[in-house]
Structure 1
Amino acid sequence: MAVLVWVVEGTWPACVDAAKAYPNADITLLHVSGHDVPHAAHGAFAGLLGRRGLDPGTTLESLASTSGSDLLASAASRLGRPCTRLERSGRVEREVVAAAEGAELLVVARDGDHGRPGPKSLGPASRYVVDHAPCPVLLVWAGESGHGGWG
């Protein structure tokens, strides 16, 4: 069984813990760095015509890559068994859906308002992923126990 675990800052531990319930699965840990913040910084820098200096968008891209690698390393350590690490960048929700092609299960954490079960318990990117995933989705609560989920 191929299981894809979406690793997102703040919610990844619950997703990794949920994946542990599949001891014979081939686990892939996925982190996606969004391009919106570095893109905005590139644009802002480009708007400063005649200014010299380092483009802050380049710095932000580097920081995002380092952060993603660190999250994947932490997730792999928590999983405690061999797994594949996959880093992507772009529109987060679209990259997750594309990465889930061929997976037999996608593990996603709720990232919205925990006080409002239902649609409000998912942020926009998670909602898109749940609605468009090409495989079954295991949706878990992150960070709080007692919600019927992992974590």
Structure 2
Amino acid sequence: MTVVVWIAEGTWPACVDAARAHGPQGAEIVLLHVSGQEVPGVAHGAFAGLLGRGHRERDPGTRVEILAADSARHLLDAAAERLGRPCARVERTGRVEREVVAAAEGAELLVLARDGDRSRLGPHSLGPATRFVVDHAPCPVLLVWPEQAPDTATIPPPPPDHP
């Protein structure tokens, strides 16, 4: 059995704890971090368009990419340490939601956390990328709260009845 655990800033500890609790002993655990291309892309574009004609060595986009990769490695190291059992670490770059879905192909379980409005129950507790992953995952999904779930009193009232 392969369990893919999406390691994202701010929510990864809950995902690792869920994988440890729900991933069967002997399962292959894959810790996945995806870096988006938006910020390095903007830095590359701004430099090329405004500042960098002829000076590639000063392109800040390259530095941003290096910092993102370093941050991903640190997060994956921390997640592996928290997991406390053998695991694979995978770093991907691209459109985050699509890379997570692609990485989950062939897995028996994908673990991810709510990353939207966590003050109340409901669909707004999922950010856009997480919503995409939940809707398109090619395997079962374990969706966890990064902290204590809100009380059921936070559910909005039902819509009024119309005759």
TM-score bracket for the superposition, by shorter chain length: over 0.9
Maintained 8 Å contact 2:34/2:93 = yes
3-state DSSP class of the match of 1:114? coil
For residues 86-122 of structure 1, the C-alpha deviation after alignment (integer angstroms, 9 at most, x for no partner) is 0000000000000000000000000000123221000
Aligned mates of 1:70, 1:147 — CA distance in 2? 30
Please give the root-mean-square deviation of Cα atoms over the aligned residues, in Å: 1.5
Q: Which letter does structure 1 place at the counterpart of 2:9?
A: E
Equivalence map 1:56-95=2 (5 Å): 56-95=60-99
For structure 2, the 5+ residue unaligned runs are: 152-163
Aligned mates of 1:62, 1:132 — CA distance in 2? 30
Greater relative contact order (CA < 8 Å, ≥ 6 in sequence): 1
3-state DSSP class of the match of 2:58? coil
Count of paired positions: 147
3-state DSSP class of the match of 1:94? helix
Q: 1:47 aligns with which of 41, 46, 49?
A: 49
Q: 1:13 aligns to what?
A: 13
For structure 1, the 5+ residue unaligned runs are: none
3-state DSSP class of the match of 1:8? coil
Q: 2:148 aligns to what?
A: 145
Give the TM-score taking structure 2 as reference length. Answer: 0.86
User: Radius of gyration: which is bigger?
Assistant: 2
Give the TM-score taking structure 1 as reference length. Answer: 0.92
